[in-house]
Amino acid sequence: MLRSFSTPWLYFLDKIIQILSDENLDVKNVKKCINSFLSKKDFHAILELNIKMMNIAKLILKSDETLNILLPQNSNCKNINYQAQELELKKEIDINLNDLKNCDNEKIIETIKQTYQNNLVKELDLSSQKEKIKILFILNEVPKFLKSIYKECEFKEYGLANYLEFDEIWDFYENNVRYFTVLTSMGANKIKLCLKNTQEIEDEINIMEINLDKE
């Protein structure tokens, strides 16, 4: 019988998921290690439980300034129109990743491809009075060992587990644009985004914060 798990155990399981998702991992050795103390059925149940505990991954933008965001509007399959609108404080919005533009910065794409060779990269445009900002999303696929959990997950459109920073393109300036790059949760088709003040303290566990006011 499975018991409830503490937050540290939840993060531990999340790290295991990340390790097992590594394409260069020697899977046979890892499986031998896991099987030595945990059955496949129990391990699968623990992963599923912790993913449910983590719930939907959210991206929190922290800023005390007015932010405008360029959002895709109702469209047909061929043409997508984008419209700038002001982000409302504390209001969560959903954005379809497939509706975002592909990143066309060849220099940045080349850097990302050194780590994620086959992943699509989407971009979200933001602006404040002082600067332009692009948040890049590296679309993260669901690894084979999690596909059955993904299929049954109630919030699978937002992906499994959490967002991860791509350090090589984080708070990076080029041509008067500030870049942040995020590896999406696994299998995500949507992102859930919210603007909050820099002073606000977060109490949710499955969030990524991007502080846009940090110098």
Q: What is the pLDDT of residues 67-125, one digit of tens each?
A: 999 998 865 556 788 899 999 999 999 999 999 999 999 999 999 999 999 999 999 99
- Is residue 12 scored above 60 in pLDDT? no
- Is residue 135 scored above 60 in pLDDT? yes
DSSP state of 186: B
Hey, what are 137's tokens? 């999303």
**What pLDDT is stored for residue 168 in this prediction?**
95
- pLDDT one-digit tens code per residue, 31-44: 665 565 567 777 77
Contact between residue 213 and residue 65 where contact means Cβ atoms under 8 Å apart: yes
What pTM was computed for the model? Answer: 0.81
- Is residue 161 scored above 60 in pLDDT? yes
Cα-only R_g, the chain? 18
2 or 156: whose pLDDT is higher? 156
Contact between residue 72 and residue 81 where contact means Cβ atoms under 8 Å apart: yes
- Is residue 4 scored above 50 in pLDDT? no
DSSP state of 152: H
With CA atoms as reference, report the closest residue to 51 among 190, 160, 213, 185: 160
- pLDDT one-digit tens code per residue, 164-205: 999 999 999 999 999 999 999 999 999 999 999 999 888 888
Contact between residue 102 and residue 120 where contact means Cβ atoms under 8 Å apart: yes
Contact between residue 81 and residue 138 where contact means Cβ atoms under 8 Å apart: no
What sections of the chain are H helices per DSSP? 7-20, 27-35, 40-54, 106-113, 147-152
- Check the CA dihedral 143-144-145-150 and report its sign: positive
Domain ranges of the chain: 7-54, 58-211
Rounded to 5°, the CA angle 85-158-200 comes to 60
- Strands (E) located in 97-183: 101-102, 121-127, 132-138, 164-174, 177-183
